[in-house]
């Protein structure tokens, strides 16, 4: 759609699929740490592929490295006191907002101001998002306190999957890829990507910090 957005039903499909992916990687105690639109690629069946696990890491409880894309930073990452799996749920909330609005909620031309907004400003959900259940899920995913954020308790991913906005999702059918995708690209060959229109409204601003040194498996990504 115009403005770099997708329809609410398409957003629901994509977020549900990503949440299913996080259910798997979080069950392995792997934190992803870099959810953003550029890392969710649409395959030939119209489903998303979560790519680039360069910032992923196995954790037992918390980690401390500052890395990722500033517009998607969670408050606890910026505070420098350690963070865990709930940081991925924050990123999912940012991505859902971006899908429906066309920009991230705390975006600013200045990275320092972006970080200040993340720490101090509550998310303002524009009226373009009319579904109250969707608005509620965004607010719950973008709760600044990671302990109170949806998906942070003992139920983890299941708590998000049970939310009223996602109630219409048949999770078993989705995981079997039996749910019709909202858009299927027309590809000439298996490796053809020319038909995919890459949006240019964002700026990639990576924090140039090396991978954590305490996990040897990270070095090969």
Q: Determine which one of 34, 109, 194, 220 is catalytic.
A: 34
Active site residue 34: yes
Q: Of the candidates 130, 161, 184, which has an alpha carbon nearest to the alpha carbon of residue 10?
A: 184
Kind of pairing, strands 48-50 and 40-42?
antiparallel
Give the C-alpha distances (Å, rounded to integers) separating 150 from 22, 144, 162. 14, 11, 11
Structure tokens at 58: 């196995």
Structure tokens at 217: 């498996």
SS3 content of the chain, % helix, strand, coil (to 5): 40, 5, 55
Note whether 95 and 37 are within 8 A (CB): yes
The residues assigned a catalytic role are 34
């Amino acid at each position: 759609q115009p403005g770099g957005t997708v329809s609410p039903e398409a957003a629901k499909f994509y977020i549900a699929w990503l949440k299913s992916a996080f259910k798997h990687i979080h069950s392995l105690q792997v934190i992803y740490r870099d959810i953003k639109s550029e890392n969710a690629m649409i395959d030939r069946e119209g489903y998303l592929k979560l790519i680039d696990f360069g910032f992923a890491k196995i954790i037992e409880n918390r980690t401390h490295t500052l890395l990722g894309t500033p517009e998607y930073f969670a408050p606890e990452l910026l505070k420098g006191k350690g963070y865990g799996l709930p940081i991925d749920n924050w990123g999912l909330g940012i991505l859902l907002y971006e899908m429906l609005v066309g920009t991230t909620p705390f975006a600013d031309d200045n990275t320092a101001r972006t970080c200040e907004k993340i720490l101090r400003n509550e998310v303002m959900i524009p009226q373009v998002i009319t579904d109250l259940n969707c608005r509620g899920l965004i607010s719950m995913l973008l709760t600044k306190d990671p302990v109170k954020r949806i998906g942070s308790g003992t139920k983890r991913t299941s708590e998000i999957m049970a939310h009223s906005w996602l109630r219409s999702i048949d999770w078993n059918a989705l995981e079997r890829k039996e749910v019709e995708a909202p858009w299927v690209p027309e590809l000439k060959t298996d490796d053809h990507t020319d038909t995919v229109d890459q949006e240019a409204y964002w700026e990639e601003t990576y924090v140039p910090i090396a991978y954590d040194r305490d996990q040897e498996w990270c070095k090969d990504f």
